[in-house]
Structure 1
Amino acid sequence: MNVKKSYLAALIIVSIVLGSVLTYVGVEVIGIGQTEQADGGSQQSNAGTDGEKQELIEEFSDMNAFSKVMRAYSVIENNYVEDVKQKTLVEGAVQGMLDSLGDPHSVYMDKETVEQFNHSIESSFEGIGAEVSMRDGHVTIVSPIKGSPAEDAGLQPKDQILEVDGESLDGFDLNEAVAKIRGEKGTEVELTIQRPGVSDAISVNVVRDDIPVETVYPEVKNQNGKKTGVIQITSFSQKTAEEFNQALSDLEDKGIEGLVIDVRGNPGGLFTSVETILENFIPEDQPYVIFEKKNGEKQRYYSGTKEKKNYPITVLTNKGSASASEILAAAMLEAGYPVVGEKSYGKGTVQKTLDMGDGSQIKITTYKWLTPDGTWINEKGIEPTVKVQQPEFFYTTPVEVENPLTLDMNNENVANIQTMLKGIGYDPGRTDGYFSEQTAQAVEAFQKDHDLEVTGKVNQETGEQIQAQVVEAVSAEENDRQLNKALEVLYEQ
């Protein structure tokens, strides 16, 4: 083997291990805007002490261990039928090593992806507005962002994206898939979705838009004659903690007697943000999270809070609450605050990124995070104190009617429409997928009320109108069983 090439390979390896480090605490979540998003911290360090660097250098000092890699490099360069850029081979080798870990959260990010990620957590980005991760080999929705095109189109947590504009994502890594999905404001992308519990794939068209990183939404509600504060946190970005603390102060100035913290659909974000928020509520004598190294060594994190707030607090979660939002929910739960809603997503690892020296980064899982009592929630989620499902029509799929739905049909599309009709006040008689006479009567009543041709059949126009009414009903506060239950539980404490 050419000695100069061996030396080059050694330099590449050493440059990797000597790069600076950015630690992401929590779980990586990929954003389909222009960018990839990761849970974790803004904690930057000049990674590695001299001792750690020396240890890493010694690990890689035995070139015999890498002779196969260098031999493969030489074989490809000298024998492959076409010219291959050195950068392509090196990046392919790095990507291959990370892929071999079988960990969807250990990834390689090229310079462009890193720049887009940094931009996305600071201001805004263009795209469909969803956070995704790789699960079981499929690009999977963690959560759509509040008010985003993805939410408006009906995308839900755990939807798997199979195709983009008719092109299969089989064999794509997460960065490649994200690149296919993101795009400029005003452009449309067609996603083929496989939804849990639905046998047939569905097609969803989403028009990309600007996705502002606005993460804190406070309001005051009157519950049983008492002022109640509700703060929704949609993700944990750089300014989230500052905005939350300001919102909390404003609510307290207004005399709230209780607080609901809503992290439903929150896919995570920067650990430093959730850490600062928890300083308001978790007393100093108990940890709010534990980090565990692979050798079992544990590091506990504590707040400086002397005592709890003098008003009751509940936390809202659902299946779209992931990672950093699970850190918050678990800490609050084990500090004695009720959690209401659905079991959370279940992501419990910590990533560290190493700067590769050319603007690209490796993000690799380095820790587990545990709840204060030492529980690892990865792929399990956090069970709420009070389980509450939303009305069934909240979980319906986007309407897609190629051929009109008519009497005596029996399929999932009919069942979906029946559930929607029932949810918006039109009784279809059944929701099992059989298009009965009573279902036709419900369709006719809907068509009459909305100035549509009264046929008793569901064509695309009728289906879209039904879906529009469902979206409106989902937004209505009286239909939000989880929030209403959280408000009820609040004053039972």
Structure 2
Amino acid sequence: MTNKKPKMVKKATLIWSIIISLIVGGGLAYGIAYFQTRAIVSQAQATSTSMQKIQSVYATITGNYYKSVDTSKLTNGAIKGMISALNDPFSEYMDKTEATSLNNQISSSFSGIGTEVQKADQYIKIISAIKGTPAKKAGLLPGDLITAVNGKSLAGKSITQAVNLMRGKIGTKVTVTIKRDEKTFNQTLTRAKIPVSTVNSKVVAHHIGYIQITSVSQRTASELKKALKQLDEKHVNSYILDVRDNPGGLMDQALKMSSMFLKNGKTIMRVQTRDGKQEIYKASKKYDDGYKVTKPVAVLMNGGSASAAEIFAAALHQSAHAPLIGTQSYGKGTVQTVSDFSDQSEMKITIAKWLTPNGTWINKKGLTPTDKADYPKYAYWQLIDTKKTFVLGDVSSQVKTLQRELNVLGYFKDKMNGYYGRTTQVAIQNYQEKAGLPVTGKANSKTILSIETKVQSKVAKHDNALKRAQSILNK
């Protein structure tokens, strides 16, 4: 396939693969689909009237504006202005910080101490210490509470805020305060590059292997193959592949993943440039090294499944007849090219479309499930603000959400009207007593977090899409 280079002089150009990702409204999920043309850009040549005009404006401002100007801001503003004029949400200019964050997602690694964590009351609890990381070597254990980082308390901080404090440059030191049972101590660790697993697996009912793929990064295909082989050793007879809320990632990985489930010669995807020409990618040993899955499979997807996840789902459905279970996928069907600048910023612009095996362009439409099923409605309720304590007499939409959650858990039977009345207070008291919390009748952060954790556990137990997949594979 021929990639069209950005019209500018480059010191070097490395043609890699198409990278897929997406930008979901509100910034909750992030991703892009692009031919990755990595380049170090030296300078632009004024070879056209348009470029001469831009240079003239630049020279006029820098030479005649009434006060000195930051030339880097002018340059960045010009780039952002041109890209903004495209009116394309997937074409953008990224500064060094944004580009680094994206590349960390693509490489599925970051620099830190190596713990998987979750919110636990006011602090952060370690779920596991990743093998081979500073945290694992230091003996940090599941259940340990991280209460402070470099002397800064984590009380009330979000997961993101806590994680950002623990991350940093490779080789730098960070001190975490650990509470283990009744003992509190400090542990100083040296940050290192941390790999992130994108594939999780387990055996579910009736000898079915369940594989969750959370993103598509540099090691996802090998992680998937490893998970498949491990499940085979447990004598599973079919697989559920879950790409719900998977924002995408690398196309070369999507090709390798898809090829494992397709007969050689079957189409995985197509890429179409603006001249109408198509490049067709087909399953082969080139992608899967001869490893093939012949057992029945079903794919779970939803509105958060995009780009590489959609390539994978579409390939398995249209070329291997796997059922798609869930809800309509996101619909990200464009391809971008990315160029690196010498200041480590990046620019990407849309240059092509990608199509499903049968030639369908799913952009802004998504894939339609063969079997519609979803989590219960309460899985999508907005989280309650844990910075506020709700008490008798309060009225708000947050109180209404609290009442609805208490109703789901069986503690509230009155009208869910957003008024924190006596019945709501009693429901909170009953919940606090049952959960072993101080019985105050006030919905403080500890109580709210406990309630929402219970609701999320109930969501997992009422996963209708997973149940439907199990039913289909058991026929």
Q: TM-score, normalised by structure 1?
A: 0.69
Q: 1:376 aligns with which of 353, 361, 374?
A: 361
Q: Give me the whole-angstrom Cα distance separating, in 2, the residues matched to 1:318 and 1:418.
A: 27
Change (3 A) 1:44 1:251: farther
Q: Give me the whole-angstrom Cα distance separating, in 2, the residues matched to 1:446 and 1:184.
A: 36
**Conserved 8 A contact 1:312-1:491:** no
Q: Are 1:485 and 2:468 counterparts?
A: yes
Change (3 A) 1:113 1:410: closer
Instruction: In structure 2, give the amino acid aligned to 1:222.
Output: A
Q: Are 1:263 and 2:236 counterparts?
A: no
Q: Are 1:334 and 2:334 counterparts?
A: no
- 1:419-477 Cα deviation digits (max 9, x unpaired): 21133332434445455665444333212213445465534443333223334444xx5
Q: Give me the whole-angstrom Cα distance separating, in 1, the residues matched to 2:311 and 2:252.
A: 11
Q: Give me the whole-angstrom Cα distance separating, in 2, the residues matched to 1:289 and 1:87.
A: 40
> What does residue 399 of structure 1 align with?
384
SS in 2 for 1:422: helix
Q: Give me the whole-angstrom Cα distance separating, in 2, the residues matched to 1:268 and 1:102.
A: 22
Q: Are 1:299 and 2:254 counterparts?
A: no
Q: List runs of 5+ in structure 1 lacking aligned partners.
A: 1-11, 48-55, 128-145, 154-182, 192-202
Alignment of 1:5-154 (within 5 A): 14-15=8-9, 23-29=17-23, 38-40=32-34, 61-62=47-48, 64-111=49-96, 113-122=98-107, 124-125=109-110
**Conserved 8 A contact 1:270-1:324:** yes
> What does residue 246 of structure 1 align with?
226
**Conserved 8 A contact 1:353-1:362:** yes
**Conserved 8 A contact 1:415-1:432:** yes
Q: 1:207 aligns with which of 153, 158, 162?
A: 162
- 1:361-411 Cα deviation digits (max 9, x unpaired): 32111111122222222222222222222123322222226463546x664
* Bigger Cα displacement from structure 2, 229-238 vs 214-223: 214-223
Change (3 A) 1:352 1:186: farther
**Conserved 8 A contact 2:37-2:338:** no
Q: Deviation at 1:217?
A: 0.9
Change (3 A) 1:411 1:312: same
Instruction: In structure 2, give the amino acid aligned to 1:374.
Output: G
> What does residue 161 of structure 1 align with?
none
SS in 1 for 2:66: coil
> What does residue 229 of structure 1 align with?
209
Change (3 A) 1:333 1:46: same
Q: Give me the whole-angstrom Cα distance separating, in 2, the residues matched to 1:316 and 1:257.
A: 18
Q: Deviation at 1:359?
A: 4.3
Change (3 A) 1:19 1:246: closer
* Bigger Cα displacement from structure 2, 261-270 vs 21-30: 21-30
SS in 2 for 1:288: strand
Q: 2:336 aligns with which of 328, 351, 364?
A: 351
Aligned residues: CA RMSD: 4.1
Q: Give me the whole-angstrom Cα distance separating, in 2, the residues matched to 1:297 and 1:46.
A: 25
> What does residue 389 of structure 1 align with?
374
Q: Give me the whole-angstrom Cα distance separating, in 1, the residues matched to 2:307 and 2:372.
A: 20
Q: TM-score, normalised by structure 2?
A: 0.72
**Conserved 8 A contact 1:430-1:439:** no
SS in 2 for 1:121: helix
Q: Give me the whole-angstrom Cα distance separating, in 1, the residues matched to 2:96 and 2:382.
A: 37
**Conserved 8 A contact 1:426-1:442:** yes
Change (3 A) 1:431 1:257: farther
Q: Give me the whole-angstrom Cα distance separating, in 2, the residues matched to 1:241 and 1:150.
A: 30
Q: Deviation at 1:478?
A: 2.6
Change (3 A) 1:36 1:427: closer
Q: Give me the whole-angstrom Cα distance separating, in 1, the residues matched to 2:213 and 2:152.
A: 27
Q: List runs of 5+ in structure 2 lacking aligned partners.
A: 1-5, 123-148, 168-193
Q: Are 1:413 and 2:379 counterparts?
A: no
SS in 1 for 2:205: strand
Instruction: In structure 1, give the amino acid aligned to 2:335.
Output: V
**Conserved 8 A contact 1:190-1:205:** no
Change (3 A) 1:337 1:376: same
**Conserved 8 A contact 1:350-1:369:** yes
Q: Give me the whole-angstrom Cα distance separating, in 1, the residues matched to 2:54 and 2:432.
A: 67
Q: Deviation at 1:40?
A: 4.8
**Conserved 8 A contact 2:269-2:354:** yes
Identity of aligned residues (%): 33
Q: Give me the whole-angstrom Cα distance separating, in 1, the residues matched to 2:467 and 2:400.
A: 27
